[in-house]
Structure formats: C-alpha cells, structure tokens
Amino acid sequence: MRGRLGHSINSSTLCFRTYKNFGIQVIKNPARIWPTKGKLWLQRHQIYYWSLHWNFLTLDQKAVYDSMAKVDGITGYDYYIRENYDPHHLYVHPSGLNWTYKRYPDSIRSPIEAVSLSDDVIYENHVYIKFPLEMISPNLEIVAAALSFFYQDEAGFDADDKRVDCRSITEDWDWRTITWNNAPTVDPDVVDFVLMPEQMQWFQFDVTSAIQATVADPYAWFGFHIRFKDLDPITESMSGLRALSTYENNFWPVLELTI
C-alpha cells in the first residue's frame, strides 16, 4: 500500500486511501477502516485535474509536492491527491467511443480526434459511448450524473438549436469494430435530450436515472447512443464532437458523477 488513510472530509462524510498502482479508494464511512462495501476504485487517468494532473506535472512541480509531503510522512503523489482531489465529484472517461456512418455501413470509423454526429439523410452519423462503471461499487450513492461532450466544429449547416437525443444501449459492442450495420440495439426511450449550442462549447445530458439504475448491475449496461432526433434534408448538419485526442484530453467526453 502507498500512502495512508486520508483525513475525513466535510464533516466526516468521506475519506480516501491512495495506492501505488491502483489509484484512489473512496470510502463513504471513514469510521470503517477496511470496509468490504461502499468503496470505489478510481484509476489515476480518471482524475479530472488535467492542468494539475500528476502525470502532467514537471519534475520541478513534483519535487515541490515531495518536499511538502515529507512533513506528513507521505509521498508527493499522495500529497497532491490530498490537496486536489474532490471527493464529491468523480469524472470518468470513456472505455469505448466511436461513431457509425450510414453512407459506408461496413466501414469502421476512427475516433482519434473527433466523432461525427450528422442529421444528413445520406450521411447520417450516430455516436456510441460507454464507461467502466463496473469499477463503481453498487453501495455508492450516485446523487446526479451528467454526460458531457465538447462541440468542436461543423460541416454543412449549423446545428445550433437542433435536438440531440441520448438513449441507453441494450447490448454489448466493441468500439474497435462497430459499424452502421453491426451497431448494437438501443432502448427506444430517450434518457435525455439537448438543443445543440453554438460551436466550441460544451453540452450536457442529464443521465442520472440511467446511471443510478446501472450501478446496481453494471454488467447489464452498455453505454449511451447519441443522435439527432430528426433527419434534415434541407439544412443538414455534420457536427464534430471532441474525442480522445491525447494532446487535448481536457476536451474528452466525460461522465461526471456527484456522490
């Protein structure tokens, strides 16, 4: 084990323990030192402090944390987590993300920099995304959940104020092989919808009810399907949503969980 049990936070409602290889363990009840339930494993890359994230710090910055941490008898990494980790908000990044293309129904798309959302009758595109929710304990209470995308650019007409629907996917799929023709089935009920904002802005779906139901049985959940509600043969839009580009990871799609 690396580090030590953290101090209780916000009237003793939460505390955390850090590990060398497995990130952070959030414990709902700090009085239970080694609880068998009510804990969450969170990998380092899922901490949403990109500007200060430990892996992005310079050697000099890390040395400063190491120096301050010696006073408490912990490591620089543990000190950084204690100073920057928000115990009430978990930011989880995708374990699977891709888009499908109606014009080329057997083509596997590339989600490296962006995924495409289109309401064009011929070039219709849908987005599929999932998260590693099996890491979340079923005993961890999710107060709210929000799915966010960054609207990067536009081809064709502006998508401003067009309705975009979010639905739950009902069977397993693989982001590396998904195409229009082999795409998984989707629940007909809409989890939430938004009206597209202007370009270069975030937009967000409220997926609280879907995630709350999922946490109890994460292996029966397969992510979200995103598409324009209606096809538009007159003012077709092809909207680029920021994906998993390594040099712009502060714009990755993210699932924010409030606990």
Report, as an integer, the average pLDDT of 75-80. Answer: 81
Measured between alpha carbons, how far apart are the two ends of the chain, in Å? 25
**Please, are residues 220 and 130 in contact by the beta-carbon 8 Å criterion?**
no
Q: What average pLDDT is seen over the chain? A: 77
Give the SS3 label for residue 159.
coil
Report, as an integer, the average pLDDT of 111-117. Answer: 90
* 166 or 258: which leads in pLDDT: 166
DSSP one-letter code for 5 = P
**Of how many residues is the chain composed?**
259
125-130/144-156 β-pairing: unpaired
Of 147, 131, 106, whose CA–CA distance to 241 is shortest? 147
Report, as an integer, the average pLDDT of 200-226. Answer: 91
For the cut 90, the answer to whether the pLDDT of residue 95 exceeds it is no
For the cut 70, the answer to whether the pLDDT of residue 230 exceeds it is yes
**Please, are residues 224 and 191 in contact by the beta-carbon 8 Å criterion?**
yes
Per residue in 153-194, pLDDT (tens digit) is 988 898 999 999 999 999 999 999 999 999 999 999 999 999
pLDDT of residue 36: 29
d(CA 86, CA 83): 9
Which domains are assigned to the chain? 15-87 (no CATH), 91-258 (2.60.120)
Report, as an integer, the average pLDDT of 140-159. Answer: 90
For the cut 50, the answer to whether the pLDDT of residue 49 exceeds it is no
pTM of the model: 0.71
d(CA 130, CA 96): 5
* 121 or 37: which leads in pLDDT: 121
Per residue in 190-211, pLDDT (tens digit) is 999 999 999 999 999 999 999 9
d(CA 179, CA 128): 10
For the cut 50, the answer to whether the pLDDT of residue 42 exceeds it is no
How deeply is 115 buried, as exposed, middle or buried, from its count of CB atoms within 10 A (0-12, 13-18, 19+)? Answer: buried
Of 200, 245, 241, whose CA–CA distance to 224 is shortest? 241
d(CA 57, CA 46): 16
Per residue in 1-39, pLDDT (tens digit) is 233 333 333 333 333 333 333 333 333 332 322 222 333
Q: What whole-number percentage of the chain has pLDDT above 90?
A: 47
Confidence of residue 118 (pLDDT cuts 50, 70, 90): very high
pLDDT of residue 238: 93
**Residues with Cβ < 8 Å from 114, sequence gap 6 or more?**
152, 153, 240, 241, 242, 243, 245
pLDDT of residue 87: 64
d(CA 157, CA 238): 8
